[in-house]
Chain A
Amino acid sequence: MSGNLDRLTEKQYSTMAASKEGKSKLWKDCLMAFLIGGLICLIAQGIKDFLLSGFFAENVYAFDEEGAAAITTLIMVFLGAFLTAINVYDNIGRIAGAGSIVPITGFANSIVSPAMEFRSEGHILGVGAQMFIVAGPVLVYGTSAAVLVGLIYFLLH
């Protein structure tokens, strides 16, 4: 053992440090994630049902199921992005945790927040290059997984 602390081994210290770690308030965190995450989904369902309701039926904007789903996503992404731009979404995140990270609004937040933060490093290498520092992995692994299952589906049919 190098260093000055001859009576403290690495193993001993790792147990000691782990025992001192304060516990996250798991129940409270989960409850908030559940409530706020559920609420965001509920809002989306409300929007979708409104789009599908008779309200638009009489004009050119009548929605089918697929169209309504796409516009709902659009509106939810807009809401997440808008709340980020007016400096509110991170406050929700502090309380909701995964409840605001997992819904599509969190995806919007993860793209808009670095865009705002890296504005200070210019539009090309700042905003342009850094916009996907958080959302990039989701797109890389999501699309790759989709290509994989697509390939299997293609070969089976």
Chain B
Amino acid sequence: MAQKIGRQTYRIEKPVYVKNAASVVGPREKAGPLGKYFEEWEDEDFGEDTWEKGESRFVGAALTSLLTKENVSSDAIDCVLSGDLENQCTASSCGLKNSNIPYFGVFGACSTMGESLALGSLLVDGGGFHNVICMTSSNFCAAEKQFRFPMELGGQKPPTAQCTVTGAGAILLTDTVCKTRVTHVTPGIIENYQIKDANNMGAAMAPACASTVKAHFTDTGRTAADYDLIVTGDLGILGSTLFREIMDIHGYPVSNHKDCGELIFDPHTQDTFSGGSGCGCSAVVLASYILREMNQGRWNRVLFVATGALMSPVSVKQGDPILGIAHGVVLENG
């Protein structure tokens, strides 16, 4: 059973391992700097007639890919934790409707991958669940339609805007011995710094990210130097700068930091402003790039912090602040 250390962190006692991971991305992600790490890609609509159906297909495809890689049937999976940005998480539910796996829908905006990974680890650690799949998805076109404007509407975005990643990432957690294991989880608290600009999610999420990382360091007595890499969710270029600055102010400088939103696109050639965002962003970067490089020994201890901006089109129109949340998970080799 997980041991609580400090205020927010839980040390996983019974080993929980990352068995395998799979991701399916969209064309912009495939064309981006991490393109070679993404084995499978499809158009945003995945051949369907709506963006929403397309996103569901990404979810289904990531699950199928993971099960195929592991050569297991869905019967071997005890449950799947999945979330996305669509209203009431329909991309996940529609995408998993034929999976025959017990399903928990989770929502933490763009932090959902951290949330599902943290909850999945605790389930496996609890002993009752042996094989748990944690996954999330997002779709650029579906997100534009739901949160912003129709695709064909002409206009510009400010440089603080982020670009929703199209794709789904899935990770299989298990209790049988593998190379990489989950050692700690640090669920985040909601941080509110009164950011109201829906085109500046990075600024809304950066304090939450710093809050979780700081709590993690305080609870474990570690510093950034104890990690080979601190990888954050989708703060983007602007949010990452703010995050590092907030950490400096609190006496925990982080130099070994990368951000999934910064890694996934090239802002100069891909017209992506401050970088990538969306539930799928940290999911596909973790499931392909980070875990593969860990497997090859480039990094041995990684703190993964997925960040989310808790808002809805209604809350923004009603003038509510955009709340930040971030969930941390420690991945370690050996």
Q: Identify which of B149, B159, B189, B242 contacts A4 (C-beta below 8 A).
A: B189
Q: Identify which of A8, A16, A92, A117 contacts B145 (C-beta below 8 A).
A: A117
The answer to the question of A101 belonging to the interface, with a C-beta cut-off of 8 Å to chain B, is yes
Q: Kindly specify which of A19-27, A44-52, A54-62, A143-151 makes contact with the partner chain.
A: A19-27
The answer to the question of A141 belonging to the interface, with a C-beta cut-off of 8 Å to chain B, is no
Whether B207 lies near A84 (C-beta < 8 A) is: no
Residue numbers in A under 8 Å from B203 (CB-CB): 17, 20-21
Task: List residues of A (86-101) whose CB comes within 8 Å of B's CBs.
Answer: 87, 89-94, 96-97, 100-101
The 0/1 profile, CB within 8 Å of A marked 1, for residues 195-216 of chain B is 1000010010011001110110
Whether B159 lies near A21 (C-beta < 8 A) is: yes
Instruction: Please give me the residue from chain A that is nearest to B7 by CB atom.
Output: A4
Given known pairs A92-B154, A93-B155, A120-B50, the reply for A134 and B194 (CB within 8 Å) is no
Whether B156 lies near A10 (C-beta < 8 A) is: no
| The 6 A-B residue pairs with the shortest CB-CB distance in the complex, in nearest-first order | A93-B154, A117-B150, A22-B159, A113-B152, A4-B211, A120-B50
Whether B192 lies near A84 (C-beta < 8 A) is: no
**What is the bound-complex CA distance between A101 and B50, given in angstroms?**
26
Task: List residues of B (236-255) whose CB comes within 8 Å of A's CBs.
Answer: 238, 241-242, 245-246, 249-250
Instruction: Please give me the residue from chain A that is nearest to B218 by CB atom.
Output: A4
Chain B min CB distance to A101 (Å): 6
Whether A23 lies near B159 (C-beta < 8 A) is: yes
The answer to the question of A157 belonging to the interface, with a C-beta cut-off of 8 Å to chain B, is no
Whether A3 lies near B152 (C-beta < 8 A) is: no
Whether B154 lies near A96 (C-beta < 8 A) is: yes
Residue numbers in B under 8 Å from A89 (CB-CB): 152, 154
**What is the bound-complex CA distance between A114 and B211, given in angstroms?**
40
- Chain B, interface SS category: loop
**What is the bound-complex CA distance between A23 and B159, given in angstroms?**
7
A-B contact pairs, 8 of them (CB 8 A): A3-B207, A4-B212, A4-B215, A8-B250, A20-B203, A93-B156, A116-B152, A117-B151
Chain B min CB distance to A123 (Å): 14
Whether B214 lies near A5 (C-beta < 8 A) is: yes
**What is the bound-complex CA distance between A134 and B145, given in angstroms?**
13
Q: Identify which of A23, A84, A97, A100 contacts B152 (C-beta below 8 A).
A: A84
Instruction: Please give me the residue from chain A that is nearest to B50 by CB atom.
Output: A120
Instruction: Please give me the residue from chain A that is nearest to B193 by CB atom.
Output: A13
The answer to the question of B191 belonging to the interface, with a C-beta cut-off of 8 Å to chain A, is yes
Whether B152 lies near A120 (C-beta < 8 A) is: no
**What is the bound-complex CA distance between A110 and B212, given in angstroms?**
42
Whether B214 lies near A20 (C-beta < 8 A) is: no
Chain A min CB distance to B143 (Å): 13
Task: List residues of B (153-197) whose CB comes within 8 Å of A's CBs.
Answer: 153-156, 158-160, 189, 191-195
**What is the bound-complex CA distance between A5 and B271, given in angstroms?**
33
Residue numbers in B under 8 Å from A5 (CB-CB): 191, 207, 210-211, 214, 246, 250
Whether B155 lies near A20 (C-beta < 8 A) is: no
Chain A min CB distance to B149 (Å): 7
